[in-house]
């Protein structure tokens, strides 16, 4: 067995260089071996990195190295990888080391310095027209953006001083690469005006410095001296507009002024000034030369190389997919520069998709950039900006039939979609908490008790739900589409627990004698010698969930017609103070009953009049009995919904209908079925519960006609998802955002990686840290009233962003969750492809999957963002607005 092993850190931190080597142990050379021969122990060590994608390992292209000791620096995207492996080869020996990268701890800006354009400390004063380079030295901030502000210094001594706040010049940004970010400032002659505003005492030398903000602290650089514009200066070169390639036109013949004749230069000499050879710019366009905006979807892309002094020089053009470990090489060819503006067309459709990673690893787009270097001098190079390219334009990879793991995975997925009810939950399925939850949620579709068994009543209930709500063929079996439809029904029709609180709040003599749902008194005590539930004095801990969901189904069925309408609840809970003050002996309303008022053709059914009775009986027959299978006057009511008798006598209902669950067996009246908080009514998503229980194939299956509520969605019924352009954020949605933002009267830099200047309830003053350029109103601090005004003005732009970027129907709570998400992340978050999976799922109407993607947008796991994303996910999925944190 070989002892060949990799030595190094298997848990690297993002942005930190890690060194890897192989063990130095070499087996003793046997006497008959020639120690000087070319054996495997003397061969070089070759290093590779592999990425786990879609069940198989893909070799990266630009991580190959050779040597006994090498280094790798893992970048931010490595955190998203399902698996990373370093492989070392030496002859026939192979060693592997699995890598798990971790977020950088305690990001830090160590220092900032000012240099000349070549990256050297200036040895003499600079001049206006020259470039000043600010170099920010960072720790654990790889690929982060930092903002740098240039100031003219009037104060004595070095460092930032309040006296200089009027001397702000400009703020620019740079990206951290290899631990540093370079930001170039062109010293424009106009800057001298700011320097001179201090008066004649400013002198012939102006002093400049830069600052950057981190963790609400301002870090200042050293000062550099710049000659006044009256002193001799280097020629000032203003910015030249971007040159657009075009066909040269013949110049018209124009009379030229007579020039003095000069002697022709001697052979081998020239009078023209020597041009410094350099690549000035590299950028990407479509083949017509138009700038790229959004996701690029053409089959060919054009790379423009602007240069000077490089005609007839050989360059090397590389096209990369920006990656998390190191960038994947897509294209690599050499060309000879023929003009100062030279273009190369790269056929993307001939580049295999896998070169940049699979769809599962990289998503629907690849981030592509061009890199150009001069072959004779590799230090002369330039990189383009990154553009998003639709992955579909690349050449599809051939299917590897030998890859059994991937093939089986794909087969399972396909089989689950059309499983022929193989994975459906039915009467043959074992008892489970998922079945119990289904029996509770659909209790109003035929009536049922909260059992964990799939009974005949369960099957009948599923069929009724499929027929009446989903409007699909009845199978009586549960697969993924049924689970999703149950969640959809739950989101739309969930009862409000606040409508059920105790009536003692309305009686002055006993006002608020309980918290809303009794005090838990008298368990096991009865108002009669008959120890049956009807006389049980126990103040149940809330409302029975099956009763709540039965009422939800009743409201759904009432919404399907226009004659009878649900109005309000007369009574939900009644504690013993309320019972004694009436007085009453019935204990039904201690968590087990609800009274509901109705109208017919727009007229309220109210008052103690006999004309109400036929209307109430019709409602009972057409809705309670037909759909909920509710039993009249508890006749044959064992384990069924029941109603009180309708009539004008004692203990009869004459303007309302009473529904209760008092005839349930004791096992179905256990305390665990009673709730008194809104989030406990739904108790989460049944679809997610299925996934947690390992029923992946069940959740994926949509066979047997169990398609989601497509028909009803097309019908556009009341209560369905609607066009987001018709929605505005609700008051509770606004309050949710304000609770998370928290009012701050003074300027502060937010907790995002770019530390944007903010005030009030998350009101963005400007991008980048606060730098003294803010309006005076904000510098002085604002009142909460003003903060609310700014909030209401600003929230509109995020409503519009959702309306612009989400083109599929939404529920109101889904809309609110998305407004909160963009308010926190930025109105162009979807436009900039910052959350491509979330956006794609939304546009595909994969609402549950979109909700799950909220949880991944946490800037690498920031604690506050993790909590906020969970809260927004809860709004989106469950219509629960919980801003506690």
3-state secondary structure 557-586: HHHCCCCEEEEEEEECCCCHHHHHHCCCCC
Nearest Cα residue to 348 out of 307, 298, 308, 312: 298
Which tokens in the block code for residue 211? 């600052």
- Cα gap 87→431, rounded to integer Å: 47
**How many Å apart are CA 706 and CA 713, to the nearest integer?**
15
CATH topology of domain 278-393: Immunoglobulin-like (2.60.40)
pLDDT given at position 202: 57
Cα–Cα distance between 104 and 74 in angstroms, integer?
10
Cα 611 from chain centre: 57
pLDDT of residue 403: 30
Closest CA to 388 of 317, 292, 299, 302: 292
Q: Report H helices in 384-451.
A: 404-417, 433-441
The confidence score (pLDDT) of residue 273 equals: 57
- Closest by CA position to 536, among listed 545, 547, 525, 549: 525
Cα atoms in the Cβ-side hemisphere of radius 13 Å centred on 396: 4
What pLDDT sits at residue 448? 92
Residue ranges, CATH 2.60.40.1930, the chain: 108-227
Q: Do residues 763 and 756 lie in contact, with contact meaning Cβ atoms separated by under 8 Å?
A: no
Residues 6+ apart with CB under 8 A from 231: 127, 204
Hey, which bits of 228-340 come out as E strands?
Answer: 278-285, 295-296, 300-308, 314-321, 328-336
Asked if residues 334 and 377 have their Cβ atoms less than 8 Å apart, the reply is no
Residues of the chain with pLDDT under 70: 1-2, 24-42, 76, 105, 155-159, 162, 165, 196-202, 216, 230-274, 323-327, 354-365, 378, 397-420, 582, 702-719
Distances, alpha carbon 217 to alpha carbons 136, 754, 761, 859, in Å:
15, 13, 21, 21
6-99 in CATH: which number? 2.60.40
Count CB atoms within 10 A of the CB of residue 871. 22
Both tokens assigned to 802? 């959702």
According to DSSP, the residues that pair with 72 across neighbouring strands are 18
pLDDT at position 112? 92
Please report the DSSP string for 12-52 in residue order: PBTT-EEEEEE----PPPPTTS-TTS--GGGSPPEEEEEEE
Closest CA to 667 of 502, 546, 527, 542: 546
8 A C-beta contact, residue 362 and residue 397: no
Strands 295-296 and 387-390: parallel
Which runs of E-coded beta strand occur in 601-714?
603-604, 631-632, 642-643, 657-660, 674-675
286 closest CA partner among 274, 269, 298 = 298
H or E element at residue 628 = helix 626-628
Alpha-carbon span 727 to 724, nearest angstrom? 5
Instruction: Determine contact, residues 782/765, Cβ cutoff 8 Å.
Output: no
Which tokens belong to 516?
A: 């809303």
Q: Look at residues 435, 460, 510, 463 and name the one whose alpha carbon lies nearest to residue 698.
A: 435
pLDDT on residue 814 = 95
Domain 722-878 has CATH 1.25.40.20: no
Write the secondary structure of 143-180 as one string of H (helix), E (strand) and C (coil). CCEEEEEEEECCCCCCCCCHHHHHHEEEEEEEECECCE
> Residues 792, 797, 798, CA angle at the centre, nearest 5°?
95
Of the candidates 403, 312, 309, 388, the residue with the CA atom closest to the CA atom of residue 356: 388
If you ran DSSP here, which 8-state letter would residue 276 be given?
P
Q: Are strands 46-53 and 84-90 parallel, antiparallel or unpaired?
A: antiparallel
Architecture of the domain made up of 108-227: Sandwich (2.60)
Give one DSSP letter per residue of 315-375, joined into a string: EEEEEEE--SSSPEEEEEEEEE--SSEEEEEEEGGGSBGGGG--HHHH-SEEEEEEEEEET
Q: How far is CA 368 from CA 271, 284, 391, in A?
A: 43, 10, 11
């Amino acid at each position: 067995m070989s002892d060949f092993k990799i030595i190094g850190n298997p848990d690297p931190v993002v942005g930190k260089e890690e060194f890897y080597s192989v063990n130095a142990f070499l087996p003793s050379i046997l006497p008959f071996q020639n120690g000087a021969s070319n054996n495997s122990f003397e061969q070089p060590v070759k290093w590779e990195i592999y990425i786990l994608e879609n069940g198989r390992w893909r070799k990266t292209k630009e991580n190959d190295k050779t040597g006994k000791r090498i280094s790798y620096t893992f970048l931010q995207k490595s955190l998203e990888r399902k698996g990373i492996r370093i492989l070392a080869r030496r002859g026939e020996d192979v060693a592997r080391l699995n890598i798990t990268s971790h977020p950088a701890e305690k990001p830090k800006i160590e220092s900032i310095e000012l240099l000349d354009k070549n990256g050297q400390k200036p040895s003499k004063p600079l001049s206006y027209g020259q470039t000043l380079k600010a170099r920010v030295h960072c720790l654990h901030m790889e690929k982060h953006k930092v903002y740098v502000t240039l100031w003219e210094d009037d104060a004595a001594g070095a460092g930032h001083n309040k006296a200089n706040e009027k001397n702000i010049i400009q703020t620019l940004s740079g990206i951290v690469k290899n631990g540093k970010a370079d930001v170039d400032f062109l010293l424009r002659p106009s800057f001298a005006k700011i320097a001179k505003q201090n008066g004649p005492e400013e002198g012939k030398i102006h002093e400049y410095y830069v600052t950057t903000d981190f963790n609400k602290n301002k870090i200042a650089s050293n000062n550099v001296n710049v000659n006044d514009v009256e002193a001799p200066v280097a020629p000032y070169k203003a910015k030249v507009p971007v040159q657009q390639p075009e066909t040269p036109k013949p110049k018209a013949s124009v009379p030229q002024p007579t020039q003095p004749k000069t002697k022709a230069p001697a052979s081998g000499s020239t009078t023209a000034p020597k041009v410094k050879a350099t690549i000035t710019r590299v950028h990407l366009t479509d083949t017509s030369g138009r700038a790229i905006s959004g996701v690029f979807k053409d089959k060919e892309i054009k790379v423009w190389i602007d240069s000077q002094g490089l005609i007839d020089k050989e360059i090397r053009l590389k096209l990369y997919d920006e990656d998390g470990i190191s960038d994947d090489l897509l294209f690599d060819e050499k060309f000879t520069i023929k003009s100062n503006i030279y273009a190369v067309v790269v056929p993307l459709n001939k580049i295999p998709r896998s070169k940049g990673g699979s769809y599962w690893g990289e998503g629907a787009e690849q981030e592509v950039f061009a890199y150009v270097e001069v072959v004779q001098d590799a230090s002369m190079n330039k990189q383009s900006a990154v553009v998003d390219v639709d992955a579909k334009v690349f050449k599809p990879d051939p299917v590897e039939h030998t890859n059994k793991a991937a093939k089986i995975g794909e087969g399972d997925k396909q089989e689950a979609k059309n499983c022929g009810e193989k994975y459906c939950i039915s009467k043959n399925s074992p008892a489970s908490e998922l079945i119990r939850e289904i029996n509770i949620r659909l209790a109003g579709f035929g009536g049922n008790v909260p059992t964990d068994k799939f009974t005949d009543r369960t099957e009948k209930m599923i069929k009724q739900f499929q027929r009446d709500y989903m409007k699909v063929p009845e199978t009586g079996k549960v697969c993924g589409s049924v689970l999703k439809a149950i969640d959809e029904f739950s989101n739309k029709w969930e009862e409000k627990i606040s409508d059920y609180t105790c009536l003692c709040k309305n009686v002055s003599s006993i006002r608020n004698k309980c918290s809303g749902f009794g005090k838990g008194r008298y368990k096991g005590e009865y108002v009669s010698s008959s120890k049956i539930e009807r006389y049980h004095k126990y103040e149940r801990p809330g409302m029975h969930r099956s009763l709540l969901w039965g009422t939800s189904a009743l409201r759904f069925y009432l919404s399907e017609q226009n004659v009878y309408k649900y109005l309000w609840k007369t009574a939900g809970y009644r504690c013993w103070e309320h019972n004694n003050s009436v007085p009453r002996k019935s204990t039904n309303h201690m968590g087990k009953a609800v009274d509901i008022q109705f109208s017919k053709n727009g007229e309220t059914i109210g008052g103690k009049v006999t004309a109400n009775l036929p209307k109430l009986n019709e409602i009972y027959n057409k809705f309670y009995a037909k759909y909920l299978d509710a039993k009249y006057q508890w006749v044959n009511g064992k384990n069924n919904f029941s109603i009180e008798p309708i009539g004008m006598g004692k203990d009869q209902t004459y303007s309302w209908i009473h529904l209760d669950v008092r005839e349930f067996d004791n096992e179905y009246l256990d305390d665990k079925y009673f709730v008194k908080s809104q989030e406990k009514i739904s108790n989460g998503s049944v679809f997610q519960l299925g996934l947690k229980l390992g029923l992946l194939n069940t959740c994926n299956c949509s066979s047997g006609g169990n398609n989601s509520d497509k028909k009803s969605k097309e019908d556009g019924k009341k209560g369905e998802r609607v066009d987001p352009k018709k929605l505005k954020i609700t008051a509770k949605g606004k309050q949710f955002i304000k609770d998370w933002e928290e009012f701050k009267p003074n300027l502060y830099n937010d907790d995002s990686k770019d530390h944007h200047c903010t005030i009030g309830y998350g009101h963005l003053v400007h991008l980048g840290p606060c730098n003294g350029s803010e309006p005076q109103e904000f510098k002085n601090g604002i009142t909460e009233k003003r903060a609310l005004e700014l909030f209401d003005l600003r929230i509109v732009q995020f409503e519009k962003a959702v309306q612009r970027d989400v083109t599929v129907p939404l529920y109101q709570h889904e809309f609110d969750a998305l407004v909160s998400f963009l308010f926190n992340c930025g109105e162009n978050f979807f436009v900039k492809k910052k959350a491509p999976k979330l956006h794609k799922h939304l546009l595909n109407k994969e609402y549950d999957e979109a909700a799950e993607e909220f949880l991944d947008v946490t800037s690498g796991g920031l604690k506050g963002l993790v909590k906020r994303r969970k809260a927004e996910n809860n709004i989106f999925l469950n219509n629960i607005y919980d801003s506690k944190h």
